Amino acid sequence: MPLPFTVSAVDPGSRARRATLTTAHGRIETPAFMAVGTRATVTGLTPVDLTAMGAQVVLGNTYHLMLRPGPELFRRVGGIHNFMGWSGPVLTDSGGYQIFSLPGDRTLTEEGARFRAYTDQRIHLLSPERSIAMQTAIGSDIMMVLDVCVDSRSDATTTRAAMERTHRWALRSLAARVTDQALFAIVQGGVIPELRRESAAWLTAHPFDGFALGGLAVGDARPEREDVTNLSAELLPADRPRYLMGVGTPPDLLHAILAGIDMFDCVLPTHLAWQGTAFTSTGRVRLTRGPNALSDERLDAACECPTCRTASRAYLHHLFKCSEPLGARLLSVHNLHHYHALMADARRAIEAGTYASFASATLEAIDRHEHSDRRLGQVAS
């Protein structure tokens, strides 16, 4: 049965769209950012925290969850929702990116990827069938096909071979599905327009519930990423969700929404929080820098998250200098609140028919030095 997906508004000045995706564990209002819960936890945060900050979906990592705690535990407890105490929708990736990130410890063949596990040093096989079996045990609402990810700077021959294997693995993943869990295919092709067109055409001829763009933010520059996203999104069906995998910063999201992307995930909000970096309405703030040591300012004057309401920049600076984990937790709360609030603002702007101007104004408010190359005109219709 197709995954219920309804587009309710399209911005007249761009391809940005407002939609609703309905899963067994609730609705997802898009555009939506998915909090990354790699090991069945968004680092340092509870499900109560996630609900309070406006999180709609949690993303789990098939590779890590396969190695620990493994499929049998998920089958015994009834899936990831019961295991982690999260009642909302869950999307699981397939493990393809993790295999890509282990070049010295894996061997790729048509069968799948053999790799040495960091948990027990044993050799494991991750095939399309095993990836789907693991995601079935996890019980996610949306599963991803196993794909082959390569550096976006790879030559055309290497990129084509990875794309074509991704296509073959996508059909094997589709054949392995035995439940009504949704399954998304992944468009590959690096930064080569002809390959992206070919991949989109091939995959959209098959009955997948949604389509993702993979293989970006792995060596490409922002202008290349924006061009590929803009091109690829237009090639995907209007009646199914579009997901940009592993990207990115607030400007990345704003640009991709202009192109018609619905769903996003990225580890940056929590990863950088643990390094002392916050995303704010005027750009990034590094709390560990000296000027914050005596600052009574709020982290972000435009934010109403618990961190901004209660903690000064000086206090956050102090926590990081003392290596107190509370600092990382408070910044994680803020960063994810910032991302979810940005998505909510985007949804309202699309409904009002003002998203193109909203995106332009928001990008102007973000650190001009960090994000000087905006090129909005190239992604607006």
* Active site (catalytic) residues: 93, 265
| CB count in 10 Å sphere of residue 289 | 11
CA distances in angstroms from 48 to 54, 265, 309, 339, listed in the order given: 10, 20, 18, 17
Return all residues near 109 (Cβ < 8 A) that are at least 6 apart.
none
Burial degree of 43 (CB within 10 A; 0-12, 13-18, 19+): middle
CA distances in angstroms from 89 to 35, 177, 230, listed in the order given: 11, 19, 27
Q: Which is nearest to 159 in space by CA: 203, 186, 190, 194?
A: 190
| Cβ–Cβ under 8 Å, residues 341 and 306 | no
Return all residues near 311 (Cβ < 8 A) that are at least 6 apart.
299, 330
Q: Before 69, cis peptide (omega within 30)?
A: yes
In our burial notation (b when 16+ CB lie closer than 10 A, e otherwise), range 187-213 reads bbbbbbeebbebbbebbbeeebbbbbb
Burial degree of 309 (CB within 10 A; 0-12, 13-18, 19+): exposed
Residue 132's Cα: distance from chain center in Å?
A: 19
CA distances in angstroms from 269 to 50, 58, 183, 276, listed in the order given: 13, 14, 26, 11
Sheet holding 123-126, edge to edge: 106-108, 113-116, 123-126
Q: How do 142-144 and 90-93 pair as beta strands?
A: parallel
Handedness of CA 140, 186, 269, 117 (dihedral sign): positive
**β-sheet bridge partners, residue 76:** none
